[in-house]
Amino acid sequence: MKAKMTVNKAFAISEIDPRIYGSFLEHMGRAVYSGIYEPDHETADTKGFREDVKALVKEIKTPIIRYPGGNFLSGYNWEDGIGPVEGRPKRLDLAWKTVETNEVGLHEFMTWAKEVGSEVNMAVNLGTKGIDSARNIVEYCNHPKGSYWSDLRRQNGAEAPFKIKTWCLGNEMDGPWQIGAKTAEEYGRIAAEAAKVMKWVDPEIELVVCGSSHAKMPTFASWEATVLEHTYDHVDYLSLHHYFGNPNNDLKSYLAKSVGMDNFIKSVVAICDYIKAKKNSKKIMNLSFDEWNIWYHSHAKDSKNEPWQQAPPILEDIYNFEDALLLGCLLITLLKNSDRVKIACLAQLVNVIAPIMTEKGGPAWRQATFYPFMQAATHGHGTVLRHNLEVATYDCDEMNAVPYVESIVIHNPEKNEAIIFAVNRSENETVDLAVELQGFELTNVLEFSEISGHDIKQINEKNNEPVAPTTSKEATVKNNELSAKLQPLSWNVVRVGLK
Ligand code: AHR
Which ligand 1 atom is nearest residue 69's CA?
6
Mean pLDDT within 462-468? 97
Q: Is the CB of 68 under 6 A from ligand 1?
A: no
Q: What is the pTM assigned to this prediction?
A: 0.97
Pocket test for ligand 1, best of 24, 67, 241 (most atoms within 8 A of CB): 241
- Could you tell me which CATH class the domain 17-379 is placed in? alpha beta
Residue 305's pLDDT is 85
* 3-state DSSP helix/strand/coil % of the chain, to nearest 5: 30, 30, 40
223 pLDDT exceeds 90? yes
How far does residue 242's CA lie from ligand 1's centre (Å)? 10
Q: Is the CB of 290 under 6 A from ligand 1?
A: no
Residue 270's pLDDT is 98
How far does residue 241's CA lie from ligand 1's centre (Å)? 9
pLDDT cut 70: percent of the chain above it: 100
Q: How far apart are CA 78 and CA 95, in angstroms?
A: 16
Sign of CA dihedral 21, 27, 29, 32: positive
Pocket test for ligand 1, best of 65, 73, 97, 172 (most atoms within 8 A of CB): 172
110 pLDDT exceeds 90? yes
Q: Is the CB of 178 under 6 A from ligand 1?
A: no
Q: How far apart are CA 158 and CA 387, in angstroms?
A: 48
Q: Is the CB of 170 under 6 A from ligand 1?
A: no
Residue 304's pLDDT is 84
Q: Is the CB of 119 under 6 A from ligand 1?
A: no
Task: Tell me the domain boundaries of the chain.
Answer: 2-10+384-498, 17-379
Q: Which residue's C-alpha comes closest to atom 7 of ligand 1?
A: 70
The mean of the pLDDT values for the chain is 97
Q: Which residue's C-alpha comes closest to atom 3 of ligand 1?
A: 70
How far does residue 70's CA lie from ligand 1's centre (Å)? 5
Q: Is the CB of 71 under 6 A from ligand 1?
A: yes
- Strand, coil or helix: what is 203? coil
pLDDT, tens digit, 9 for 90 and up, residues 384-394: 999 999 999 99
Mean pLDDT within 68-91? 97
Q: How far apart are CA 489 and CA 427, in angstroms?
A: 5
How far does residue 32's CA lie from ligand 1's centre (Å)? 15
Mean pLDDT within 262-269? 98
Q: Which residue's C-alpha comes closest to atom 2 of ligand 1?
A: 70
Residue 303's pLDDT is 83
How far does residue 487's CA lie from ligand 1's centre (Å)? 35
249 pLDDT exceeds 90? yes
Packing angle, helices 148-155 and 131-142, rounded to 10 = 50
pLDDT, tens digit, 9 for 90 and up, residues 37-66: 999 999 999 999 999 999 999 999 999 999
Mean pLDDT within 425-433? 97
Q: Is the CB of 291 under 6 A from ligand 1?
A: yes
Q: Is the CB of 69 under 6 A from ligand 1?
A: yes
Q: Which residue's C-alpha comes closest to atom 1 of ligand 1?
A: 347
Q: Would you please indicate which residues are annotated as catalytic (active-site) residues?
A: 172, 291
Q: Is the CB of 211 under 6 A from ligand 1?
A: no
Q: Which residue's C-alpha comes closest to atom 8 of ligand 1?
A: 70
pLDDT, tens digit, 9 for 90 and up, residues 292-330: 999 999 998 988 889 999 999 999 999 999 999 999 999
Residue 369's pLDDT is 98
The DSSP line for 296-309 is -TTHHHHTTPPSSB
Are 418 and 412 within 8 A, CB to CB?
yes
Are 99 and 310 within 8 A, CB to CB?
yes
Q: What are the counts of helices (DSSP H) followed by strands (DSSP E) for the chain?
A: 11, 24
Pocket test for ligand 1, best of 208, 243, 291 (most atoms within 8 A of CB): 291
Q: Is the CB of 172 under 6 A from ligand 1?
A: yes
Q: How far apart are CA 452 and CA 468, in angstroms?
A: 9
Q: Which residue's C-alpha comes closest to atom 9 of ligand 1?
A: 70
Mean pLDDT within 398-419? 97
* Fold match between domain 2-10+384-498 and domain 17-379: no
Mean pLDDT within 110-122? 98
Are 26 and 397 within 8 A, CB to CB?
no
398 pLDDT exceeds 90? no
The DSSP line for 42-84 is TTB-TTSBBHHHHHHHHHHT-SEEEES-SGGGGG--GGGGSS-
How far does residue 238's CA lie from ligand 1's centre (Å)? 17
Q: Which CATH architecture has domain 2-10+384-498?
A: Sandwich (2.60)
pLDDT, tens digit, 9 for 90 and up, residues 127-155: 999 999 999 999 999 999 999 999 999 99
Residue 476's pLDDT is 97
The DSSP line for 146-186 is SSHHHHHHHHTT--S-----EEEE-S-TT-TTSTT---HHH
Closest CA to 373 of 338, 414, 326, 305: 326
How far does residue 290's CA lie from ligand 1's centre (Å)? 10
How far does residue 321's CA lie from ligand 1's centre (Å)? 23
